[in-house]
Amino acid sequence: MHSGIVPPQGVWWKPAGKQEKLWVSIAFIWCLVLFAMMPFWHLKGAQNPSGIRSRVVPAAYLERVNRFVTEYKVGEENGYPIVEPPPGAEVYLLAQMWRWYPILKLKKGVTYTVHLSSLDLNHGFNLHPVNVNFQVLPGYDYGLKMTPNEAGQVFIICNEFCGIGHHTMVGKIIVEDGPSTAAVEREGTYE
Ligand code: CUA
């Protein structure tokens, strides 16, 4: 019977045996290896976001997205604007319960800086069928460099549970071949 009143039986207070010491040593060394891997992988793993990062007030980001949509809108689908930014432009994509806004129309082989932020809570940016995953958080603006390498349609799926409509949170990117039909080519600015 073990309790706080009755002391446990055994030899646990005696010095550790050889095997136990060996095991604790191995475990400790392994802890150090894992600990060292954190800074090592941060520097060498090439898996950290390569783009820009900044703080942004969600309402300000929404306003920036709306300006982006107004400026480059070329069509509409199911009430969603289709937006075609010129090559090299700053692209603004919004995550919100439960949509990705707007629909993007991009050119194959052209590099864009795609900004991602959320209006409400944590969403997950997942390109399907391409294996690209990224956390999208309110209050943070991540600008990721992306170069579509295949024409066709890519779907944006939310892979971070965000409530009752999570499974319906699907967006779309249309990738086209050939030169841009967007009228002006200009450097995008981020304000
Ligand atoms: Cu957004 Cu799940």
Report how far ligand 1's centroid is from the alpha carbon of 77 (Å): 21
| Shortest-distance atom of ligand 1 to CA 159 | 2
**Mean pLDDT per 10-residue segment, the chain (191 residues):** 73 83 97 95 75 87 95 91 91 95 92 94 90 89 89 93 94 83 42 37
Measured from CB, residues less than 6 Å from any atom of ligand 1 are: 98, 123, 158, 160-162, 166, 169
DSSP classification of residue 177: -
Phi first, then psi, for residue 157 (nearest 5°) are -115, 140
Report how far ligand 1's centroid is from the alpha carbon of 102 (Å): 15
Give pTM, 2 decimals: 0.70
Q: Which residue CA neighbors atom 1 of ligand 1 most closely?
A: 123
| Shortest-distance atom of ligand 1 to CA 95 | 1
Contacts of 126 (CB under 8 A, 6+ apart): 132, 133, 134, 156, 157, 158, 159
| Shortest-distance atom of ligand 1 to CA 162 | 2
| Shortest-distance atom of ligand 1 to CA 166 | 2
**Cβ(36)–Cβ(29) under 8 Å?**
no
Report how far ligand 1's centroid is from the alpha carbon of 123 (Å): 5
